[in-house]
Amino acid sequence: MRILLAAAAALAVPFAATPAMAEAHMDAAEPELAKKDWYSVVFFKFHPGKMQEAMKLIEAFVKVDEALGRDGPMALHMDTGEWDMVVAFKMEDGIASMGWENNPRNEEWNAELARQLGGEEAVAAHWAKYMATVDRSQNHIGHIDLD
């Protein structure tokens, strides 16, 4: 019986401190975010002979950024290595936006693309044509330190 009481007391001790710890946590200052610009970086390998077609299809995406007054992504056409192109998209709302169910900036961009191309069916057809030029791709996340 003593062992059972000792075990129960040992288990109860951490829970007795929980309200005090919770109060201290609530009083703590919000943690400061690191000063970084976050990027979604996509590596593309196009099917042989399809890169020029892909670039023409990408022009529609550039027009959307221009219409919305946004800086587009940075694109690098690769001269060495296995990839044809690397595109870095700045995550304007930071890394936390990856956890959002809906990103308002993406929704606005998609709506403008639909407006420019003539509706959702035209957008789906455009994406299908573009994706048919892509052999494979990889997505990565990176950052630039600002301090």
Q: What is the pLDDT of residues 77-135, one digit of tens each?
A: 999 999 999 999 999 999 999 999 999 999 999 999 999 999 999 999 999 999 999 99
The CATH architecture one would assign to domain 36-145 is: 2-Layer Sandwich (3.30)
Other beta carbons within 10 Å of 59: 8
Share of the chain above pLDDT 70, in %: 82
Q: Which of 9-23, 42-56, 77-91 has the lowest mean pLDDT?
A: 9-23
Q: Which residue has the higher pLDDT, 50 or 15?
A: 50
Q: Where are the domains of the chain?
A: 36-145
